[in-house]
Amino acid sequence: MPPARKRARKYDSARTRAAVLAQFAHVREAVAALTPEQLAGPTRLGEWTVRDLAAHLTMALASLTRKLAEPEPAGRELALADWPTATAAGAAGIDADTRAIDTGDLPALYAETLARYEEALATASDERIVPTRFGAMTLADFLVTRTVELVVHTDDLTEATGADIPYDRQALAACTRLLADALAAKAPGGAVEVRIPPYAVVQCVEGPRHTRGTPPNVVETDPLTWVRLATGRTEWAAELDAAHVSASGERADLEDLLPLMG
């Protein structure tokens, strides 16, 4: 019998809402400071330029604004911890949506996106069901996925431009925890303990479960390294070699389970 799924993690929706706005503000400020030459530069995301990436970052908010304008689905279809792995099916559509954005005036795009988002969220209940590309979710859950979009692409923007963009602590925490929970959902069990201090600890991988003392199989890394591993921005072996990941125990090899999302 496969291991039972653990109880879903709870998030403070007020903090999540504030974190989304805070991280978007950090990105908006960074994008406004980029030169035309920087905006025309490459990113690690295939053919996307920095301008394409900057435009895509507005979709973290704009997509929710659009979804709230659609009819409410009958019920929830997608668990929050399953969202990261479900996104792999939407890569082509996301690319097409990004390329359809008018990027001629990025400051105006960011201002308009924020205004519409704040208006849409002002009266929206956390329990409202939101239709998404990957299945219906509660608004509270979908807001947590927005922290993943913003944190992951903030890191992409930093890598492409060298800009020193801050991470809102709550946004980084929510992103880290959701990606950790996605690993536990993908490989349920208790044989391996994955530690991402100071934000998350999860157990995963089917096998003998420890009940006391130090677990026999432990993986530990920092939040940004974990985010990069979970999203395919870096590779398991490279981070082990660089000592950004420690892995002890014969089962503490997550290479075949990563990335969780593209």
Distance CA 49, CA 38 (A): 9
The SS3 of residue 160 is helix
pLDDT at 8: 86
AA identity, residue 203: Q
The last residue of a domain, from among 133, 151, 171: 171
User: Does residue 211 sit within a domain?
Assistant: yes
Number of structural domains in the chain: 2
pLDDT over threshold 60, residue 145: yes
User: Does residue 6 sit within a domain?
Assistant: no
- Residues 166 and 38 grouped into a single domain: yes
- Closest CA relative to residue 8, chosen from 124, 180, 168, 233: 180
Q: Which of 81-90, 143-152, 216-225, 230-239 shows the lowest per-residue confidence on average (mean pLDDT)?
A: 81-90
Query: Which helix (H) or strand (E) covers residue 39, if one does?
Result: helix 36-39
- Residues 96 and 216 grouped into a single domain: no
Residues 151 and 21: beta-carbon distance below 8 Å: no
Return the CATH number at 218.
3.30.1050.40
Q: How confident is the model at residue 213 (pLDDT cuts 50, 70, 90)?
A: low
Q: How confident is the model at residue 7 (pLDDT cuts 50, 70, 90)?
A: confident
- Residues 109 and 46 grouped into a single domain: yes
- Closest CA relative to residue 34, chosen from 56, 53, 20: 53
Q: How confident is the model at residue 93 (pLDDT cuts 50, 70, 90)?
A: confident
pLDDT over threshold 80, residue 6: no
Structure confidence by residue, pLDDT tens digits, 157-187: 999 999 999 999 999 999 999 999 999 999 9
Q: How confident is the model at residue 212 (pLDDT cuts 50, 70, 90)?
A: low
- Residues 150 and 183 grouped into a single domain: no
- Residue 110's domain comprises 13-171
- Please give the structure tokens belonging to residue 217: 């199989």
pLDDT at 214: 72
